[in-house]
Amino acid sequence: MSKRTIAVELATPGLDPQGRPARIPLEAGVGALERYGEPDAGEHMLINIGPQHPATHGVLRLVVELDGETVVRVIPHVGYLHSGFEKLGEYRHYNQIIPLTDRTDYLSPMANNVGFALAAEQLMGIEITPRCTVLRVIACEMSRIISHMVWLGTTSIDLGAFTPFLWAFQERERIYNLQEMWTGARLTTSVTRVGGMMADVTDDFVAGLRQFVDTYPKTLHEIDRVLTRNAVWVGRTQGVGVMTAQEAVNYSLSGPMLRASGVPYDMRRDKPYLAYDSYEFDVPVGEHGDVYDRYLVRLEECHQSNRILRQALERLPDGPLNIGDPRLILPPKSRAMSDMEAMIYHFKQVMEGVKAPVGEAYVGIENPKGELGTYLVSDGTAKPVRWRIRPPSFINLAALPKMAEGHLLSDLIAINASVDIVMGEVDR
Amino acid sequence: MAIGLKVMKRPGTQVSYLRATLKGMALTFSHLWRPKVTMQYPEEKSSKDWTLSPRWRGTHRMLTDEQGRAKCVACGLCPQICPANCIKLVPGEDEHGNRYPLIYEIDEFRCVFCGYCQEVCPEEAIHVGVHYENAEYSRDRFVYDLERLCAQTHPVSTLWDPSDPKGE
Ligand code: SF4
Ligand code: SF4
């Protein structure tokens, strides 16, 4: 089978880590059957990992064909957690969809809320206030930290290191406490509204986050001390599951998976939203594209998120949180209860929803796991005709068969962990 | 440029199994003297680092007026906004023409605790509450009717409440 090669000029990622322009050829995809033919049941062994297996990080089922202990191929089966979020969204007002977005990537709920709100705002042509912008950056970066902490903890458990798991989850717990202070829920935050936020942060929250930002790097350094140069960790991860830059682009990977392969593409840098280009931070990229580099990249991203959080706290402006237009966002409760006009808007908005103009909008944001895209089509009513999520971990998961090929069964666990999947988002 | 690139170089050296283990052990033991982060849950319900947030969105509570009647005026906003469709409301009208709920039920199993019902209620009647221990012996006890909602005594969430101006 001949492979078609199309040379493409990538928008900004056309730079290699040294800063030279790079062209990355695209190849046509090859299905599993074309690549390997029918399973060879006589010589090889077929085993199922999952859907109820702790090492698959959710209800993922992997059908693995083994030759001895070497993986010949892996076929991931997904769909055990399918909830039909996108369809449900077609029957709900824009604001009513926000609780659904919590539950897609449930390890970074706030970032999903932000992604959806940005798309709906683009659709309606809403400009959010400066305070809201900064608070959303805080929400996104808090999500990145908890998501990477869960990743780090579960991956280190998969590879036999139990202690970093406990430290990582301690830090995650602190962020959860902050989320609880802000939104009243630890996981199902629903923190955004179209045109603003559900609630402003309290002074306790700001003080708590300051304290977190100051003490968090210590834990990162401890994790760094026990893992980065540890011979066991290095032996299990270096050279395992390699994706070259070219393959990573061809599999349309995004997020830390892509950057670990040496493609410096980060939505925050290349298609800035929420004024990310005014913050000072580094985008970490790897050189080898193996599990170890993904670990290095994610660990460094935690440091960088911490840096962004610190800057965001410093610049947190006063002023209104929500846009002032009572046709688009609910007026404050006390006004709705005292002022007749605000009350009418309040009723009208709840009963009819906010109508979006006919059109479509796509917004991609850099979620912890990669590019989270939200695509909305409106026919002029208060409910979207189509709501589609581009789930980063689903697309990253598609590279698993390629990465695991030829490795040992025990490496498959490390590779699967390094993808950082969350099944709520894969199956939606 | 404000946003830089950082190429993650691998450390040139790696430590041996034995040294890594010993180093890890030393670090882990140093954690023994740190303040403890766990809580003995059923005995302790809050610690100095954590108490349940006053904004907590938990099981519902219906506030009542001085005569002990539910404040709800059966306006129909909360069943409309509820994304989980779990509020059942049948409005009634008394002899003075005041509307009140004949039936008001919340299915706590379907509820997603988004708090929208509290956000939209113009009478500050329905509230999500600061409460989380909800175990029951049977499933049908989780459909809270009006009487049960009014009889709840836990504090209510301060979100969307004048007492927490930032939460509005
Ligand atoms: S909290 Fe949300 S899901 Fe629960 S009853 Fe209220 S509106 Fe419905
Ligand atoms: S929004 Fe408030 S007043 Fe209206 S029906 Fe619901 S509880 Fe009753």
| pLDDT of A13 strictly over 50 | no
B115 Cβ inside 6 Å of ligand 1 = yes
Ligand 1 within 6 A of CB of B114 = yes
Query: Which atom of ligand 2 is closest in space to residue B117's alpha carbon?
Result: 1
Residue closest via CA to ligand 2's atom 1 equals B121
What pLDDT score does A275 carry? 86
More confident site: A145 or A10: A145
Give the domains, in start order, of chain A with CATH numbers. Answer: 85-427 (1.10.645.10)
DSSP labels for A111-137? HHHHHHHHHHHHHHTPPPPHHHHHHHH
Least distant ligand from the CA of B121: 2
- The whole-number pLDDT of residue B67 equals 83
CATH number of B60-167: 3.30.70.3270
CA dihedral sign of residues B16, A149, A387, A13? negative
Distance of alpha carbon A148 from alpha carbon A172, whole angstroms: 9
Per-residue pLDDT tens digits of chain B, which is 168 residues long: 577 777 777 777 767 778 778 888 888 888 888 888 888 888 888 877 788 888 888 888 888 888 878 888 888 888 888 988 889 888 888 888 788 888 888 998 889 998 888 888 888 888 888 888 888 898 888 888 888 888 888 888 888 877 766 666
DSSP B98-138: -EEEEEEEEETTT-----HHHHH-TTS-EEEBS------SS
* Ligand 2 pocket, mutate which of B73, B85, B160, B161 (most atoms under 8 A from CB): B73
Minimum distance, in Å, between the CA of residue B53 and any CA atom of chain A: 5
ipTM of the complex: 0.86
Give residue-wise pLDDT tens across range A363-396: 989 999 989 999 999 988 888 999 999 999 889 8
User: For residues A99 and A190, is the Cβ–Cβ distance under 8 A?
Assistant: yes
Q: What CA–CA distance (Å, rounded) separates A139 from A193? A: 13
CA of B113 to the centre of ligand 1 (A): 5
- Residue extents of the structural domains in chain B: 60-167
Query: For residue A10, what pLDDT is reported?
Result: 43
How do residues A147-179 score in pLDDT, each as one tens digit? 999 999 999 888 888 888 988 998 898 899 999
Report whether pLDDT(A282) > 50.
yes
Angle between helices A203-227 and A163-183 (to 10 degrees): 170
pLDDT tens per residue across span A14-70:
556 665 656 666 555 555 556 556 666 567 788 888 788 888 888 888 888 888 888
Pocket probe for ligand 2: among B121, B144, B152, the residue whose CB has the most ligand atoms within 8 Å is: B121
The mean pLDDT of A339-346, rounded to a whole number, is: 79
Mutate to test the interface with B, among A198, A307, A339 (most CBs of B within 10 A): A198
Does residue A189 have a pLDDT over 80?
yes
Cα A287 versus chain centre, distance: 22
Q: Whose CA is nearest to atom 5 of ligand 2?
A: B74
Mean pLDDT of the residues in chain A: 84
> Measured between CA atoms, how close is A392 to chain B, in angstroms?
22
A70-77 and A359-367 strand pairing: unpaired
- Measured between alpha carbons, how far is A342 from A247 in angstroms, rounded to an integer? 55
Confidence (pLDDT) at A56: 81
- pTM to 2 decimals? 0.87
- Residue of the nearest CA to atom 3 in ligand 2? B72
